[in-house]
Amino acid sequence: MRGNFWRKFWRFIRNIIILFFVISIGWTIVLRFVPVYVTPLMLIRSVEAIADGEMPKNSKKWVPVEKISPNMIQAVVASEDNLFMEHNGFSFDDIKKAWKNNQKGRRIKGGSTISQQTAKNVFLWNKRSYLRKGLEAYFTVLIEIFWSKERIMEVYLNVIETGDGIYGVEAAALEYFGKSASQLSKSQSALIAVCLPNPRRFSPVRPSSYIQRRKGQIMGLMNKIPRVDFDKSDNSIKDKKRK
């Protein structure tokens, strides 16, 4: 009797695990082609606003990557993930630095790649935990397998939190500069990118001296790092597969 119970229990656990893999892989493949209009963070922010007695604000507008200024793409790569076009989802040097900072009790900074941030924003919640980091790594592997670098960047720039109730660079460009994301200048792109680590605290239109200083650093780095070229990246991936 007891042995029968455990057999059923482990069969149930096995089926749950298989179901999770099937759903998560299928979901990832679907989102390779379908715009991501809602994320867990958007829902969490809405619930928080209602709990505070406020009306939720959700300013967002999906645009294809072709309608986002190359300046904006270059700015987030310079600010968030210099090796975005080269790595397979993880920057182990940055992970090592973050781990060392954590061991010393310092604030963790710059440990996640754009791929990891995209995985977190699309599939998971925002609060840090070992469970979330583990799932984040899993979904990062999935999007690196099933999505192109161009698609990862497109989704990232459309769902990233860019202000209080503002999501995506199109909504940010309209809110802060009164123009579409395709028209963002190098300076405006750098200002949005610099505020991404804490978009509800920092503002691109009311930049502090720290933000202005960081903007200058990012603009300098934008000129130094290789220009992001998705066509070249796709071709190099195809060449590697042929070899």
What is the CATH number for 157?
1.10.3810.10
Assess whether 160 and 214 both reside in one domain.
yes
- Could you tell me if 91 and 24 lie in one domain? no
Judge if 189 and 119 occupy the same domain: yes
Mean pLDDT of 189-212: 95
Residue 240 has pLDDT above 50, yes or no: no
Alpha carbon distance 243, 147 (integer Å): 21
Provide the number of structural domains found in the chain. Answer: 2
Residues 147 and 113 grouped into a single domain: yes
Does residue 234 register a pLDDT over 60?
A: no
- The answer to whether 215 and 187 have CB atoms below 8 angstroms apart is yes
Mean pLDDT score, 203-210: 94
Say whether both 41 and 24 belong to one domain.
no
- Kindly indicate the confidence band of residue 5, based on its pLDDT and cuts at 50, 70 and 90: confident
Residue with tokens 């610099």: 194
Question: Do residues 22 and 108 share a domain?
Answer: no
Give the structural domain span for 17: 1-31
Residue whose C-alpha is closest to residue 137's, from 161, 157, 115: 115
Q: Do both 15 and 69 map to the same domain?
A: no
Rounded distance between C-alpha atoms, residue 226 and residue 229, angstroms: 9
User: Do 210 and 134 belong to one domain?
Assistant: yes
How many Cβ atoms sit within 10 Å of the Cβ of residue 97? 15
pLDDT > 90? residue 241: no
Residue 14: pLDDT over 70: yes
Q: Are residues 10 and 59 in the same domain?
A: no
pLDDT tens sequence across 131-177: 999 999 999 999 999 999 999 999 999 999 999 999 999 999 999 99
pLDDT at residue 7, as a whole number: 86
Say if residue 13 is in the same domain as residue 105.
Answer: no
Mind listing the pLDDT tens digit for each residue in 85-111? Answer: 999 999 877 666 665 665 555 555 557
pLDDT: which is higher, 7 or 159:
159
* Percent of the chain whose pLDDT exceeds 70: 86
Note whether 14 and 72 are same-domain residues: no
Q: What is the pLDDT of residue 1?
A: 62
In this prediction, residue 30 carries a pLDDT of 97
Whether 108 and 217 share a structural domain: yes
Averaged pLDDT, 65-75: 97
